[in-house]
Amino acid sequence: MRLHHLTLALIGLVFAIGLLGANAPVFAAPATPAAVGTPAAAPLPPGPKAQPSGAAMAQTCAGCHGTDGRLQAAAFMPLAGMPKAQFVQAMRDFRDGKRPATLMRHVAEGFSDGEIDAMANYFVNVKPE
């Protein structure tokens, strides 16, 4: 029984290391959906595959900007189809306090340049309805 517990503890440790790797801020390539939710028995190798995808991060915007950034409302501009350069500029300006904002400064503060790029790549490919 003791051996069994030790084995479980080891698996848990390996899994925890895998999760840490998944959070590593590496932005060389988009994450594949398959990289999410891999069982503990197969820990993720740390690296580009484990980065959060633009699509995943974009879900946090849906509450205000609509699902897939498609909300058509004056206060919450639609993000769907926004040109990449415009999106990146807006997010960096919000984050760096260069563009006045009621809410977006707080939202943008949490994102690195690489994460903003990943979301820009996601939103530019969403067709506005």
Contact residues: ligand HEC, CB under 6 A: 60-61, 63-65, 75-77, 79, 87, 90-91, 101-104, 107, 119
In whole angstroms, the minimum distance from the beta carbon of 40 to ligand HEC comes to 29
Nearer to ligand HEC, 9 or 103 (CB): 103
Nearer to ligand HEC, 38 or 89 (CB): 89
* Of 59, 65, 53, 56, the residue nearest 90 (C-alpha): 65
Nearer to ligand HEC, 47 or 115 (CB): 115
